[in-house]
Structure 1
Amino acid sequence: MRKAIIFMIISALSFSVLNILVKDLRHFNVYQIVFFRSIITLCFTIPLLVRNKINLLGNKRSLLLARGTIGFIAMTLFFTSLQYLKTGTAVSIRYISPIFAAIFAVFLLREKIKWNQWIYFAIAFLGVLILKGFDTDVSTIGFLIVLASAVLTGLVFILIRKIGASDHPLVIINYFMGISAIISGMFTLFYWETPTSLEWLTFISLGVFGYFGQYYMTKAFQTSEINKSAPLKYIEVVFTMLAGVFWLDEKYTIIGLIGAGIVVTGVVLNTIFVSRK
């Protein structure tokens, strides 16, 4: 369990740094940011697939293509929302995606939602309503964009469930990053802005921190029981808020902190409940 905690903390820190770096590059077009986030991660995944002799094309290719395409749109929307919202606020709202995944599962996988979960969902949505309704710092455009990202991320979870164990996790990530690199690369041709030497380092770091965040999250889930390690993932919200305050000089209102806290509480309770089933 100690290893799982360390792995999850490393993962949360990595994703938090990724979020802050994206926010720091907000004066660049979002497609250029997505392109570097994807292409650098591919530099890790492709060699690993080749070295382990894993089929790059995978088995459930139509589902892999759908997961990659929808994942690309969700990531692009999330990165776009960071141009309008504080990083901690955007991450908090994005984390209601498991709720949308559960709702999609009812219609697409014929699963049932327990009454306990509806209570946890209501708690999380109450936090969202507080953020949007009472925190005057929350932009309506940014809120709608990150909400759309959360909905699509929920659909991504369903697609990954449908893929199941038919394909290696690296193949799923590789499709996601490959499709994102191709589509964003085409748009980047029209919006390219040459980075400075320090900005080049920041762009490269996007893919590095994104990969390690994903890698150590997987290691945490492999090392311990899901119900013990999964709730730790949400410390990313805390790390991101702290990084935003000290790195980007972001300021959060008391209402904003309460709303984010309620969102995370509802989602964590649902995660624990589902993991123990």
Structure 2
Amino acid sequence: MKLAPASRVYSPRDVIVSVGLMLVACALVAATTLIAKMLGPAAGANPLHPLQVSAGRFLFAFLVLLPLLAWKRPDFKGARWGNHILRVLFGWAGVSCLFAASSAMRLADATAISFLNPIVAMMLSIPLLGERVGPWRWGAAAIAFAGAVILSEPGTEAFQPIALVALAAAVFMGAEAILIKKLTDSEPPLRILAINNFIGAVLALSAASFVWRAPLPGQWLLLAAVGATMVTVQALFIQAMKRGDASFVVPFFYTTLIYAGVYDYLVFSEQPTTAGLIGALLIIGGALTIAWRERVQRRSTPITRRAAG
């Protein structure tokens, strides 16, 4: 019988560095939503369509990766192209919806609703990965969805229909997370990054061609910044995971919400609402509960997976 490998012991310095890397990554993730809002209607003159922003994200990310790909020359033999293409479709749809929501509502609210994606991934893991979900995680999912309902304030004058677009972003990103999990089990990270950003660039540019508006010079710089920032975030996230236990490091990702709120206030003078704060806390609480239960499950069943809440 093959036993699970022992957990790696990380030094205090590694843990501190991993948290620092994750916090920087969160600041940059929030910055991409801020840039999307600056490129949209909120910016005033010459607003760009969200599809153009997502095209910039994939195109410039691939261009940033090109030197590394030329150096490393990853092997694409045996790539699971069906899963890659589906992952790109879901990822492109998710980021396009997130950019669309960010351009039309408070950044903190759009970010909070997009944080439902771990809940969606958990639900999709049942039919797609054959996983079992117990009452703890179903309860956490219910709390998180309640937070999304409170945040969008249905039935009131403050109701934001654009919140449904942010919810769609969470659904697409949750589906993408399942496919990423399937790919990372069998393929190297650089190959996944290369295929994702190349196919994503082709798809995003094709879609953006139907709504294309010539960007101003400053907008080209912002589009390039989105792509370069996303590649940097991926690199920081990987390094953070190498230096700390995932169940400890990943919860720090939710500080993205704080950065988004601060950026929105500083640039657009947007202030959070009471409903927004309550909803965001419920969503994050639900997501953190799921992360905690997954940690408990891994520790209690190192050899085979069982329902653990």
Task: Please indicate the TM-score interval, normalised by the length of the shorter structure.
Answer: over 0.9
Match of 1:2 in 2: 16
Q: Following superposition of structure 1 onto structure 2, how do residues 29-108 of structure 1 map, counting pairs within 5 Å?
A: 29-56=49-76, 59-108=79-128
For 1:238 and 1:3, the matched residues in 2 are separated by 20
Q: TM-score, normalised by structure 2?
A: 0.84
Q: Please say if residues 31 and 184 of structure 1, whose CA atoms lie closer than 8 Å, have aligned partners that are also in contact.
A: yes
Aligned: 1:128 with 2:148: yes
Q: Following superposition of structure 1 onto structure 2, how do residues 198-213 of structure 1 map, counting pairs within 5 Å?
A: 198-213=218-233
Picking from 195, 217, 222, the partner of 1:175 is: 195
| 1:184-241 deviation digits (Å, cap 9, x = unpaired) | 2123334332333322221211111111112111111111101110100110011111
Match of 2:167 in 1: 147
Match of 2:306 in 1: none
Match of 1:165 in 2: 185
Q: Structure 2: 5+ residue runs without aligned partners?
A: 1-14, 41-46, 299-309
Q: Please say if residues 124 and 267 of structure 1, whose CA atoms lie closer than 8 Å, have aligned partners that are also in contact.
A: yes
For 1:45 and 1:80, the matched residues in 2 are separated by 25
Moved more, 55-64 or 238-247: 55-64
For 2:169 and 2:255, the matched residues in 1 are separated by 20
In the TM superposition, what is the alpha-carbon distance from 1:13 to its structure 2 partner? 0.7
Picking from 245, 249, 273, the partner of 2:293 is: 273
Structure 1 residue identity aligned to 2:28: S
For 2:166 and 2:292, the matched residues in 1 are separated by 24
For 1:185 and 1:247, the matched residues in 2 are separated by 29
Picking from 12, 25, 28, the partner of 2:26 is: 12
Q: Structure 1: 5+ residue runs without aligned partners?
A: none
Provide the alpha-carbon RMSD of the alignment. 1.8
Match of 1:216 in 2: 236
For 1:33 and 1:147, the matched residues in 2 are separated by 19
| Count of residue pairs brought into register by the alignment | 276
Q: Please say if residues 153 and 160 of structure 2, whose CA atoms lie closer than 8 Å, have aligned partners that are also in contact.
A: no
Per the alignment, do residues 193 and 57 of structure 1 end up closer, same or farther by CA in structure 2, a change over 3 Å counting? farther
For 1:103 and 1:149, the matched residues in 2 are separated by 15
Q: Please say if residues 117 and 171 of structure 2, whose CA atoms lie closer than 8 Å, have aligned partners that are also in contact.
A: yes
| 1:53-106 deviation digits (Å, cap 9, x = unpaired) | 312566211111111122111211221222332111111011111111111111
Structure 2 residue identity aligned to 1:5: V
For 2:108 and 2:77, the matched residues in 1 are separated by 36
Structure possessing the higher radius of gyration over alpha carbons: 2
* Structure (1 or 2) with the greater helix fraction: 1
Moved more, 34-43 or 182-191: 182-191
Higher relative contact order (CA 8 A, sep 6+): 1
